[in-house]
Amino acid sequence: MTFTFRPVDPSADAALLHSWVTHPKAAFWMMQDATLQDVERAYQEIAADEHHHALLGLEDGTPAFLMERYDPALRELTGLYEPLPGDVGMHFLTPATDTPVHGFTKAVITAVMAHLFEDPVVERVVVEPDVRNKAVHALNEAVGFVAEREIDKPEKRALLSFCTRERFAEAVAA
Please give the Cα distance from 84 to 114 (Å, whole number). 20
pLDDT digits (tens, 9 = 90+) for 159-170: 999 999 999 999
Domain of residue 145, residue span: 3-173
pLDDT digits (tens, 9 = 90+) for 62-102: 999 999 999 999 988 999 999 999 999 999 999 988 888 89
Judged against a pLDDT cut of 90, whether residue 1 lies above it is answered with no
C-alpha 165 chain-centroid distance: 17
What total number of domains does the chain contain?
A: 1
Check which CATH number belongs to the domain holding 89 and give it: 3.40.630.30
- Which helix H or strand E contains 69, and what residues bound it? strand 62-70
pTM reported for the whole predicted model: 0.94
- Total H helices, total E strands in the chain: 5, 7
